Amino acid sequence: MVPIYICEDQSEILKQLEKNIRNVSMIEEFDFAIALATTSPEELLRCLKEQRTQGIYFLDIEFPKESMNGFELGKEIRKLDSRGFLIYVTTHSELLPETFTYQLEALDYILKDDPAQLIHRIRKALLTIQGLLNNESSEVKELFTVESAARILHIPVNTIDYFETTYKKHNVALITSNQYIEFHGNLTQIEKRLSPNFIRTHQSYLVNRSKIQTIDKRHRTVLLKNGSTCLVSRSKIKELKQLY
């Protein structure tokens, strides 16, 4: 059962959200349950530190009496639950871009002015989550776990295009089609953690073989399916040509 956490600073709205979420979950027969409904971001974080499971979070943005706002709360949640689903419920549509500023990867942003629309959007968000969870459970995914900017991230290995060294000493970047994640590490250690499907094309590059589209022997590069180009050392060109 997936826990749902609700954090809203107004008690009446909190009760209404709790009622709507519980009703939708019951009608749709979701395997979700409300673990906590609170007006306090700190209480939510205390609860989450004890549970440490993937959850669903319905969050307000403004907490005038608290030490953090909803975006800062989301950032703290991400440190404890990197795969959780964040849904913001607010009256401030103009604050939507802030979710990108804080790099929160929020699932939805719901306006609470219209009660009928609110229920519809809650249902839609929970249906989306149920679909995502069903997909996760239907296929076993190999995950690459990395700690970056005080967050622990779990990246499906099959989505990784390549790793490369950065200009910062002892730092490596992980690149997917929509993510660039820099973290402390080195390619030799990473290569040992991964399957032979990743090949060290160059001292600065570790490439997912399944992402390679073409090999340019003349310029000693590989073109990936996402359009990126990675260097290939002279000693690796022959090996790559044999593989492809």
Residue carrying the six token digits 């390679």: 212
* pLDDT, tens digit, 9 for 90 and up, residues 108-120: 888 887 777 889 9
24: number of Cβ within 10 Å: 19
Return the SS3 of 219. coil
Percent helix, strand, coil in the chain, to 5, is 40, 30, 30
Whole-model pTM: value is 0.57
> For residue 159, what are the contacts with CB-CB under 8 A and spacing of at least 6?
176, 177
Between these two residues, 96 and 210, which has the higher pLDDT value? 210
Name the pLDDT band for 45 (thresholds 50, 70, 90): very high
Domain ranges of the chain: 2-138, 143-243
Give pLDDT, residue 91: 79
Cβ atoms within 10 Å of 101's Cβ, excluding its own: 9
Q: What CATH number has the domain spanning 2-138?
A: 3.40.50.2300
Architecture of the domain delimited by 143-243? Beta Barrel (2.40)
